[in-house]
Amino acid sequence: MLANLEQMRLAAAITPDDVVASWMPYFHDMGLIGTHLGPLAARAKQVRLEPLSFAKRPALWLETAARHRGDPPVRRQLRPGPGRTADPG
């Protein structure tokens, strides 16, 4: 598990300076591993919304991320990591 978390941290280029904003529940594997344990292993700040709050008002997720200067995890996946460039060509 620790080796996988380290690989995830490296692939997503998560650092202790990052803030990850998520609404995913911890009983879901993506919520527990992707938006809680991964950032925890990287010592990144986590901001969590209740899933029902997100379902009622999806824009709250982006507003919360902006307020805390964080990234929704999906944006992080699109961000270039070490050795990669933003230019697909």
Q: How big is the chain, counted in residues?
A: 89
- pLDDT tens string 9-62: 888 888 898 888 889 998 988 888 888 998 899 999 999 999 999 999 999 988
- In this prediction, residue 80 carries a pLDDT of 53
- pLDDT tens string 58-78: 999 888 888 888 765 555 544
Where are the chain's structural domains?
23-78
> Smallest Cα–Cα separation from 18: which of 61, 64, 70, 68?
70
What's the rounded Cα separation, in Å, for the pair 64 and 49?
A: 8
Residue 53 DSSP one-character state? H
